[in-house]
A and B are shown apart, each in its own frame.
Chain A
Amino acid sequence: AQTVTQSQPEMSVQEAETVTLSCTYDTSESDYYLFWYKQPPSRQMILVIRQEAYKQQNATENRFSVNFQKAAKSFSLKISDSQLGDAAMYFCAYRSAILGGGADGLTFGKGTHLIIQP
């Protein structure tokens, strides 16, 4: 079974600064997807960024980028120019790329609570 570990329960960053959230995972599969989801207080979870394991290039979405190290099974999220609206719980998630194999559910880490200090 796959596991996802987020070792930082809480992180704090000054507005406009850069912060990196850590995530490691364990799997025996070679093809999979990794995601970062954001869950603002009392609001629904939204996808921030995704990475396909077969792609060596790190994904980037505006101020959000990842550092994907497949051999190390590491998938960190970097948020540049932090904004007050970035304050939320951030969850790292894994999904198998096996099609039709039924392994379609996401496996989440425990989350990191990101605080943005004005």
Chain B
Amino acid sequence: DTGVSQDPRHKITKRGQNVTFRCDPISEHNRLYWYRQTLGQGPEFLTYFQNEAQLEKSRLLSDRFSAERPKGSFSTLEIQRTEQGDSAMYLCASSSDRTSGYNEQFFGPGTRLTVL
């Protein structure tokens, strides 16, 4: 397995448009996370799935954001009516709860979103 992959790597869009990002986790991982990282900041947690169930959502995840993981494998993050403040790197991570208790999260390369 080649690790967590994300597509696209870069996305430029105009304000008001909708965008969708995809994350493919490590194949045996049942947990999947989305984070947002703005310039000069650490990643901020957005949401988390265990299998197909979305178990936790940060208050950062406004109504314009929606995430899905329909079959417990890949996940999508959609942002509707994008705003310039949505410009950031969107990181995906995956982990397995069948391994050690500390549940290491493996990160993907991220999708860099620029909203013009």
Contact = CB atoms under 8 A, between A and B. Distances in A.
Interface stretch (A13-21, A63-71, A79-87, A108-116): A108-116
A107 B45 contact: yes
A44 B55 contact: no
A50 B102 contact: yes
State which size class the interface on A falls in. 20 to 34
Interface residues of B, number: 27
A11 interface: no
B44 to A, nearest CB: 7
A108 B107 CA distance: 14
Given A105-B58, A110-B41, 12 more contacts: A33-B102, A44-B109, A44-B110, A45-B91, A47-B105, A50-B102, A50-B104, A93-B42, A95-B103, A104-B33, A105-B46, A106-B33
B101 A111 contact: no
B72 interface: no
Given A108-B43, A110-B42, A102 B48 contact: yes
A106 B103 CA distance: 11
26 contacts: A4-B42, A37-B107, A44-B4, A44-B108, A44-B109, A45-B91, A46-B107, A52-B101, A52-B102, A91-B42, A93-B42, A95-B103, A102-B48, A102-B55, A102-B56, A104-B55, A104-B56, A105-B33, A105-B35, A105-B58, A106-B45, A106-B105, A107-B45, A108-B42, A109-B42, A110-B42
